[in-house]
């Protein structure tokens, strides 16, 4: 596999509208070459008989069942509120009407 060249990195930088110096181009060329080589090694290992997965271990749903339970009455919930209006907590406005 051929190494990514400094000119290719410069071309990618231009396409991305990044202003990179000479030292940065050299450094990124070496880093991108290592990344591309690592991806190529992973592709060599991947076998067709191994199904694709999103996790190494099987996951199970950890959420509890959604059951209706008794809750506080509005008056109880608002009992400790500093301000309430129309059975709701009253809070200071933080956004203008135009937003």
Q: What is the DSSP string of the chain?
A: -PPPPHHHHHHHHHHTT----HHHHHHHHHHHHHHHHHHHHHHHH--TTSPP-S-SS-----PPP--------HHHHTTT-S-EETTEE-----S-TT-
CATH 1.10.10 fits 6-45, yes or no: no
Question: Per residue of the chain (99 residues), what is the pLDDT tens digit?
Answer: 458 889 999 999 999 999 999 999 999 999 999 999 998 888 787 677 777 778 888 878 788 888 999 999 999 999 999 999 999 999 988 887 765
Whether this prediction's pTM lies above 0.75 is answered by: no
């Amino acid at each position: 596999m051929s190494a990514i060249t400094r000119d290719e990195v410069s071309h990618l930088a231009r396409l991305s509208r990044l202003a990179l110096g000479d030292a940065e181009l050299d450094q990124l060329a070496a880093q991108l070459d290592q990344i591309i080589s690592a991806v190529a090694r992973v592709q060599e290992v991947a076998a067709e008989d191994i199904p694709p997965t999103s996790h190494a271990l099987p996951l199970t749903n950890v959420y509890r069942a959604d059951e209706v339970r008794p809750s506080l009455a509005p008056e109880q919930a608002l009992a400790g509120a500093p301000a309430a209006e129309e059975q709701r907590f009253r809070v200071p406005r933080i956004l203008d009407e135009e937003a």
